[in-house]
Amino acid sequence: MTKRDFRYWSLVAFFVLAAALILGRYASLAASKGEPAAAAAPEIERGRISDRNGRLLALDSPLYNIAVWRPETDREAFPAEARRLASLLDLPAEELLERWRGGEADFFYIKKRVQPQAAREIQEAKAAGAFAGLVVEKVAGRLYPEKRLASHLVGFVGDGNRGLAGVEAKYQDFLSPAAGPAGKGAPARGDDLFLSLDLDIQHSLEEVARSALAGTGAQAVILLASDVRTGEILAYVAAPDFDPNEYAAYPAEAWYDWPSVYAYEPGSVFKVFAMASVLDTGAVDLSTAFVCDGAYRKTAPSGEKIAIKCLGQHGSVNIGQILEYSCNAGAAYASDEIQALDFYERLRAFGFGSRTGAALAGESAGQLRSPETWSLRSKPTIAMGQELLVTALQMTAAANAVANGGLLLKPVAVRRIVSSSGEAVLDNAPQVVRRVLSEGTSRSILAAMESVAGAGGTGKRAKIKDLRMAVKTGTAQMIDPATKRYSEKDFIASTLAILPAEEPRVALYLAIVKPRGESYYGGRIAAPYIKEAAEALLSVTDLPRGDSPQVLHPGTVSIPAPEAAVIGATMPDLRGWPKRLLVPLLGRSDLKLRLSGEGYVVRQSPPPGTKIEAGTEVLLELE
């Protein structure tokens, strides 16, 4: 055989083999008659994600991919069946029919990651003779029973049940560790994550954020709550948000992690940390006065002159009054009393210009330029919250330090990691990073922030009548990316609150990005929503307030987290059970479980005591 003949017959053999492989795939799909394919699940179950009290935020549950094998579809019946199918899958019927009629591929997916209940109805219809040519593939899936709650922190998974965002991505190796060598065995599932969040607080503050988003017409709203004594994040809120069960149905902008990724100029809220830094050096004290005549003015030895306007003419002001009136000129003159390098190092000590260590996916370090790059304007404008970039997470961590006596704590988002056998893998105890202020400076700044919430302060709209609050408001112009200058219409309005001021326990920080309305000032539009957030916090915690008596006792009461519902050999009485404790039952492939409604079970079928066998249909109605 010549070389030419050999090449010819080799090419023929290649095409024959390729054709055989393709036909084999089609034959296997046809032979399946649309039955569920083998699960494309990871080797072990993915670990669960819960809040600090054990309330489930994410758990594994089988999902299904729905596909069409065109050669087996009924040309006459499919158009009518497609409308029923579209209704089950919440898809446009015409779009489905167009793909069936005009597509080139004989095999195509209609929808992936479908919930078990919809897949079960399709399988039942197929068993009755409908939906010829439909393929139902069982795949590993992730269920988020609380839907949108804490979606930016929890994140979501993609194909193969691999984390794509939030702690689902950051803690991928804990939640879904690689299987061990053959014969060594594997854990029942990956490690379980317990977040620092309190879902009651999270839910309450999410409602406030959505209200602020709608009320101000803003691009986004960020709202964080932290325990100032431990650094634990109690609520991690960004609006708009999304449902991680159906993340692909939302625009990518909705997934954006505003609290820890978005970096921006903070505006006057930053005066808290700037004035604390100046005061802590001893270069000034609480009685040191600066004169505000409506502007800050300075002439350099070179003859260069600068002037920075203030929002008013405040006369003689000390550190406390600089914060109370949010006096730009006073803050700038106070910054003259500290050397540039010392100022820079103290702000760096607060954590600005570096990641917080909270171990969140994609966290930004912000930006704080070194003094050798500063202009004559830099130090006074940084003191006012310009010429640097921060994240909301950094601002909250720095606020904790002001509140707790001067200690910077590492923010905690994941409180504990526990193995499937119950052993502790990680315990995030409070961790002090460094001391940034003396206790005396901390007390002085808190006292000054209390005056901000007084009748003459910029934060008076944040004040709750019977609660002592330390507050600071801010308004920051945003840079217009087109002109590279400050925008005339884009602002960030913000407010920081520490409560109770006399014995701080919680820091609240709110930022409203690009509000659209009659005002963009933090004291006018952000402060009222901080008040709402504080009221919500008081309603779901034991924080003390002036006219509410506190009952104290020396002991502690431990309430175990409720266990999920279980159906054994006989049907239990599930009346009164909440939906979140029924969710694990959806993973039972041996039962036909239907949940109807929201809330708590009010009716069930079969009745309690009924013998349960494989294939038993269970209906639970909730109200």
Domains and CATH numbers, the chain: 200-247+254-540 (3.40.710.10), 579-622 (no CATH)
pLDDT of residue 40: 42
pLDDT of residue 23: 47
Quote the distance between the C-alpha of residue 237 and its chain's center.
6
Cα of first residue to Cα of last residue in the chain, in angstroms, is 81
Answer yes or no: are the C-beta atoms of 505 and 515 closer than 8 Å. Answer: no
Average pLDDT score over residue span 491-516: 97
DSSP state of 412: B
Answer yes or no: are the C-beta atoms of 536 and 204 closer than 8 Å. Answer: yes
Whose CA is closest to 319, among 376, 280, 373, 359? 280
Answer yes or no: are the C-beta atoms of 372 and 360 closer than 8 Å. Answer: no
Answer yes or no: are the C-beta atoms of 352 and 303 closer than 8 Å. Answer: no
Whose CA is closest to 537, among 196, 206, 238, 55? 206
For residue 9, pLDDT over 80 is answered with: no
Whose CA is closest to 452, among 420, 407, 406, 499? 499
Which among 136-145, 226-235, 478-487 has the top mean pLDDT?
Answer: 226-235
Q: What is the mean pLDDT of the chain?
A: 86
For residue 462, pLDDT over 70 is answered with: yes
Could you give the 3-state DSSP secondary structure of residue 495? strand
Could you give the 3-state DSSP secondary structure of residue 197? coil
DSSP state of 78: H
pLDDT of residue 29: 44
Whose CA is closest to 338, among 388, 299, 288? 288
For residue 187, pLDDT over 80 is answered with: no
Q: How many residues does the chain have?
A: 623
Task: Point out the least confidently predicted range of 295-309, 323-337, 394-408.
Answer: 295-309
Answer yes or no: are the C-beta atoms of 574 and 604 closer than 8 Å. Answer: yes
Strands 470-479 and 432-435: unpaired
Could you give the 3-state DSSP secondary structure of residue 215? helix
User: What percentage of residues in the chain have a pLDDT greater than 90?
Assistant: 58
For residue 184, pLDDT over 80 is answered with: no
Answer yes or no: are the C-beta atoms of 87 and 163 closer than 8 Å. Answer: no
For residue 26, pLDDT over 70 is answered with: no
Answer yes or no: are the C-beta atoms of 168 and 151 closer than 8 Å. Answer: no
Note the helical H segments in 103-233. 116-127, 151-154, 166-170, 172-175, 199-216
pLDDT of residue 130: 83
Number of C-beta neighbours around residue 493 at 10 A = 30
Could you give the 3-state DSSP secondary structure of residue 549? coil
Number of C-beta neighbours around residue 282 at 10 A = 10
For residue 606, pLDDT over 80 is answered with: yes
Residues 6+ apart with CB under 8 A from 103: 70
pTM greater than 0.85 (yes/no): no
For residue 91, pLDDT over 90 is answered with: no
pLDDT of residue 533: 97
Could you give the 3-state DSSP secondary structure of residue 302? coil
pLDDT of residue 61: 82
Answer yes or no: are the C-beta atoms of 530 and 495 closer than 8 Å. Answer: yes
Instruction: Please give the radius of gyration of the chain, using alpha carbons only, rounded to the nearest integer.
Output: 30
Confidence of residue 534 (pLDDT cuts 50, 70, 90): very high
The pair of three-digit structure tokens given for residue 387, joined into one six-digit string: 């010429």
Confidence of residue 68 (pLDDT cuts 50, 70, 90): confident
Task: Point out the least confidently predicted range of 59-63, 122-126, 564-568.
Answer: 564-568
pLDDT of residue 549: 44
Number of C-beta neighbours around residue 479 at 10 A = 14
